[in-house]
Amino acid sequence: MEGAARCGPIEPLDELAVPRLGLLRVPFGDRLVEAPHERLGGRAPAEVLLPLPRRLADALLLLLDIGHLGKRPAARGPGDGSNPAPYAALVDDAERQRQERRLERDRRRREQGKQTYFESEATLDSWPVSQDPASAPTSILRPRRDRERDELIELEAQALDQEGQAAQGAAFAPPIGSETRERSAAADEGHGLARSGVIFAVATGISRVIGLVREIAQAAVFGIGGPVNAFEIAYLIPNTVRSLVADSALSAAFVPVFSDLLVKGERQRAWRVASSLFWLMLVGLGGLTALFIIIAPLVMGIFGYGPHDEFGAIAANLARILFPLVLVLGLTGIVVGILNSYDHFTVPALSPVLWNLIILLGLGLGVHSTTSDATRLYIYAGAILVATIAQFLLPLPWLYGLDGRLHMVIDIHDPAVKRTFMLMVPVTIGLGLININALIDQLFATHYLNPHRDPAAIVRAFRLYMLPQGVFSVAVATVLFPLLSRHASRQDWTAFQRTVGTGLRLISFLLLPASVAAAVLATPIVRLLYQHGQFNAAATEKVAPCLAAFALGLTFNGTMLMLNRGFFSLQSPWIPSWVAFGNLGLNAILDAVFYRFGVWGIPLSTSLVNIAGTAALVVVFRRRMRGFELGETARTFGLVTIASAGLAVVAWGIWRGLDAELGQSLAAQILALGAGLALGYAAFFGICRLLRVRELDTLLRLRHSRA
């Protein structure tokens, strides 16, 4: 170090990254721009010490005992924070593979003319890493946070490389303030999130549009009367069980644990945990499926479709065909969770496209092969099962491009496996109770309303309500969830809060106008999309009020989803679980009150429950995080509400005028509704521009950058 200060020769074992100097700041001048391994003449570099918390300069004494360089550091804990170690293991193959992935990402960014982060010959990661970690004299000491004193846990890999590059740039450029660098990094991260969100939203949008075509075809073939109501109940039960033990619940518990292991460099263990969960789901859900197939008539009897009902036998047989969906979707949850942890979103978003296409083929086959509604429903249910299996198989090839493999292993003793199941319990309650609310809704519909008409009317409205929900809020929450998990793992609370706030504002900006449009134009929307074949004008009068009632809670359902993912990323899922318990009781009470006003009263109670759930989650989250850009989010919500009111006035006025003049032919309906929506959204965007809504500027910048 003294030699470096005098610009003298530097011995290889003296070249250290010391506190207060930062990485690679000891050697400078013309030696700075040379690759470290070239500068050292191919000899092994010294032990590298990163800046430690509280400026522990005396820790340099740890490096003086050269005899300890070949020894392994203290063993790390299981990766869940229960046994923090003072420093990490030696650099191994995982570090090399991480560097290769970084360089590959930079190569793609360079081809697109964008800034690169990791490509630099004079960074720490450019040092050659020995294939055998035990024989490598280089190790990286990484500080960890003392949880009781709330200090730094672990440096991000990106921050490590950026600091090394900043040290090089300091010799040739004026110093740049840390605030400027933070703003630049935040802007680039926000741009990347927006891009991922758009890609996922487009892919999801395609699948939702094809799904809408499937819903239109189903409505035209079966209407909302007769045995199709038995089908809706038979499909709802496995769908609810799936939400409790598979798919979304499993992914929400699995992604934080899997991402945490990847962040900490425990790649092999992460894949072992994933493999164990895969086979445990196969065995457990397989047994549950077999049990339900046996007791299906008893379960359907709870909803009024017992042995003595006109459609009781049909309902039981349909339930037996559809319940294996739980097993297949459980395995799909593991596969999709792995891909999302590696920031692969497009293929999982496109797999529902295949799912809907197969179902459409099955529906067409049923229509042309028989005239019996019961037989058509059996063929339709079988097509759904085949399509779900195909949806599971489609993403599998993309797993082979990752740095691990699923293999045959069941390790129930791994703390990470146990941690996943422990997280699943509250996550299951938080997500599953939302679907149990739908079961409660249908119980009221089958027992207190018309069981052979109203359940299908609620489902038809719910499918339209979920179209913008799936395109926007699910896309935003899915893209941000792995990022939130990484921020929480690194305890970067500033970035965590910023990401949650960004998600809430994007969801509000996208769903508020959709909610208003669905409410004021419910009748023309239902009439245009559904009123064909067996779906007549009387069915439109049933479904349209249900859609308007659902629309009231559209935005708040999206914000609940985003806040739930935030708590799941913090591995604190019991908070949304208790909120979901409260919503369950509130939903039952409101159903008992509002069903008396008609079938639309049940969707109205669901919307009020969404509003109450969002309010409760915001209050708890604010206490937990002490602010997450709530003021900015409230500002955006208010401004977007004003702009949405303008959309409602313009859209309804244009549609009403054209509908009266043109009539109700198919072409006239398309023209009237399309003009109303187009001009209404034009008014919405114009008002947002006048009110300077920042989310609109973000989307415009993204559009220009893509162009």
The answer to whether 511 and 555 have CB atoms below 8 angstroms apart is yes
Distances (CA, A) of 105 to 98, 181, 195, 269, 339: 11, 20, 15, 24, 16
Instruction: List the one residue out of 62, 453, 490, 450 whose CA is nearest residue 223.
Output: 453
Q: What type of residue is 498?
A: R
pLDDT at 190 over 90: no
pLDDT at 540 over 50: yes
pLDDT at 342: 84
pLDDT at 609: 93
State how far the Cα of 328 lies from the Cα of 285, in Å rounded to an integer.
Answer: 9
Question: Could you tell me if 122 and 201 lie in one domain?
Answer: no
State how far the Cα of 120 lies from the Cα of 124, in Å rounded to an integer.
Answer: 9
Distances (CA, A) of 259 to 32, 70, 267, 269: 35, 30, 10, 11
| Beta-sheet pairing, 140-141 with 48-49 | parallel
Residue 459, class by beta-carbon neighbours within 10 Å (0-12 exposed, 13-18 middle, 19+ buried)? buried
pLDDT at 17: 40
Task: Note whether residue 184 is domain-resident.
Answer: no
pLDDT at 179 over 70: no
Helix (H) / strand (E) element for 480: namely helix 474-490
Residue 458 in tokens: 């609620």
State how far the Cα of 47 lies from the Cα of 478, in Å rounded to an integer.
Answer: 40
Secondary structure of residue 49 in the 3-state scheme = strand
Residue 557 in tokens: 């359902």
State how far the Cα of 176 lies from the Cα of 153, in Å rounded to an integer.
Answer: 26
- Which residue carries 């809907």 as its tokens? 356
Residue 486 in tokens: 């990484």
Report the predicted TM-score, pTM, of the whole model to 2 decimal places: 0.66
Question: Could you tell me if 210 and 110 lie in one domain?
Answer: no
State how far the Cα of 211 lies from the Cα of 216, in Å rounded to an integer.
Answer: 9
Question: Could you tell me if 481 and 548 lie in one domain?
Answer: yes
Rg (CA), the chain: 29
pLDDT at 631 over 90: no
Task: Note whether residue 187 is domain-resident.
Answer: no
Residues 6 or more apart whose Cβ sits within 8 Å of residue 324? 238, 289, 385
Q: What is the mean pLDDT of residues 395-400?
A: 87
Q: How confident is the model at residue 600 (pLDDT cuts 50, 70, 90)?
A: very high
DSSP 304: T
Task: Note whether residue 182 is domain-resident.
Answer: no
Question: Could you tell me if 319 and 449 lie in one domain?
Answer: yes
Q: How far is CA 275 from the centre of its chain?
A: 21
Task: Note whether residue 185 is domain-resident.
Answer: no
Task: Note whether residue 108 is domain-resident.
Answer: yes
Number of domains in the chain: 2
The answer to whether 475 and 196 have CB atoms below 8 angstroms apart is no
pLDDT at 674: 95
Residue 406 in tokens: 């699923």
State how far the Cα of 603 lies from the Cα of 609, in Å rounded to an integer.
Answer: 10
State how far the Cα of 69 lies from the Cα of 554, in Å rounded to an integer.
Answer: 60
Alpha helices in 595-665 (DSSP H): 601-625, 630-662
Q: How confident is the model at residue 97 (pLDDT cuts 50, 70, 90)?
A: low
pLDDT > 90: percent of the chain: 36
Question: Could you tell me if 480 and 561 lie in one domain?
Answer: yes
pLDDT at 697: 78
pLDDT at 680: 96
First CA to last CA distance, the chain:
51
Instruction: Give the domain-ending residue among 111, 143, 172.
Output: 172
The answer to whether 394 and 354 have CB atoms below 8 angstroms apart is yes
Q: How confident is the model at residue 259 (pLDDT cuts 50, 70, 90)?
A: confident
Residue 493, class by beta-carbon neighbours within 10 Å (0-12 exposed, 13-18 middle, 19+ buried)? middle
- Which residue carries 């809704």 as its tokens? 441
State how far the Cα of 58 lies from the Cα of 55, in Å rounded to an integer.
Answer: 9
Helix (H) / strand (E) element for 258: namely helix 248-263
Q: What type of residue is 335?
A: V
The answer to whether 257 and 276 have CB atoms below 8 angstroms apart is no
Taking residue 182's Cβ as centre, other Cβ atoms within 10 Å add up to 12
Query: What does residue 649 show for φ and ψ, rounded to 5 degrees?
Result: -65, -50
Q: Which long-range contacts (CB under 8 A, 24 or more apart) does 22-25 make?
A: 22/51, 22/163, 22/166, 22/167, 23/50, 23/123, 23/124, 23/160, 23/163, 23/164, 23/167, 24/122, 24/123, 24/124, 24/164, 24/167, 24/168, 25/167, 25/170
pLDDT at 458: 94
Question: Could you tell me if 343 and 306 lie in one domain?
Answer: yes
Q: How far is CA 268 from the centre of its chain?
A: 24
Residue 696 in tokens: 């609109």
The answer to whether 363 and 217 have CB atoms below 8 angstroms apart is yes
Instruction: Give the domain-ending residue among 172, 202, 237.
Output: 172
The answer to whether 440 and 585 have CB atoms below 8 angstroms apart is no
State how far the Cα of 655 lies from the Cα of 542, in Å rounded to an integer.
Answer: 21
User: Higher model confidence: residue 254 or residue 41?
Assistant: 254
User: Higher model confidence: residue 2 or residue 110?
Assistant: 110
State how far the Cα of 465 lies from the Cα of 248, in Å rounded to an integer.
Answer: 19
pLDDT at 431 over 60: yes
Q: How far is CA 222 from the centre of its chain?
A: 34
Query: Beta strands of 329-381 (E only): which ranges?
Result: none
pLDDT at 120: 40
Instruction: List the one residue out of 462, 433, 412 whose CA is nearest residue 215.
Output: 462
Q: What is the mean pLDDT of residues 123-145?
A: 36
Secondary structure of residue 128 in the 3-state scheme = coil
Residue 272 in tokens: 């072992």
Question: Could you tell me if 197 and 254 lie in one domain?
Answer: yes
Domain with 42, as residue range(s), is 2-172
Q: Which residues pair with 141 in a beta bridge?
A: 49
Task: Note whether residue 180 is domain-resident.
Answer: no
Question: Could you tell me if 386 and 430 lie in one domain?
Answer: yes
Secondary structure of residue 140 in the 3-state scheme = strand
Residue 125 in tokens: 């990661």
Task: Note whether residue 188 is domain-resident.
Answer: no
pLDDT at 45 over 50: no
Question: Could you tell me if 334 and 399 lie in one domain?
Answer: yes
Question: Could you tell me if 211 and 317 lie in one domain?
Answer: yes
Task: Note whether residue 178 is domain-resident.
Answer: no
pLDDT at 403 over 90: no
State how far the Cα of 666 lies from the Cα of 663, in Å rounded to an integer.
Answer: 9
* From 162-176, 335-349, 410-424, 438-452, the region with the lowest mean pLDDT: 162-176
State how far the Cα of 332 lies from the Cα of 324, in Å rounded to an integer.
Answer: 13
Instruction: Give the domain-ending residue among 137, 172, 207.
Output: 172
Question: Could you tell me if 150 and 215 lie in one domain?
Answer: no
Question: Could you tell me if 150 and 225 lie in one domain?
Answer: no
